[in-house]
Amino acid sequence: MPKITFLPHVELCPEGLVVEAQTGESILDVALRNGIEIEHACEKSCACTTCHVIVREGFDSLEEPSMAEEDQLDKAWGLELDSRLSCQAFVGEEDLIVEIPRYTINHARENH
């Protein structure tokens, strides 16, 4: 069973966390199941960038992003070559190391 190491994030998991994941489960679902409240303003429909993560290790074990995901990622704060939307990145057979960016763009929240 693959493991995901979530690197420390000041607000969401200050100590970092290592958890088990099911193959085929999204990184977002693994995070949420383990108490890491990554934002997901579009309710996992690939329509925003609030669940943006950077896959520091194991990136190549993930399926290729869809065109819709790539279009959304172009709008993400702090985009890197190993960036993914955690709602669209499904765990393969390899362990992952995931960084949650410090900031996210949430237009719904910013307009209030």
Domains belonging to the chain, first-starting first, are 3-99 (3.10.20.30)
pLDDT tens per residue, range 76-94: 989 999 999 999 999 999 9
pLDDT at 112: 36
The pTM score is: 0.92
According to DSSP, the residues that pair with 74 across neighbouring strands are none
pLDDT tens per residue, range 3-57: 999 999 999 999 999 999 999 999 999 999 999 999 999 999 999 999 999 999 9
Among 23, 26, 27, residue whose Cα is nearest residue 7 = 27
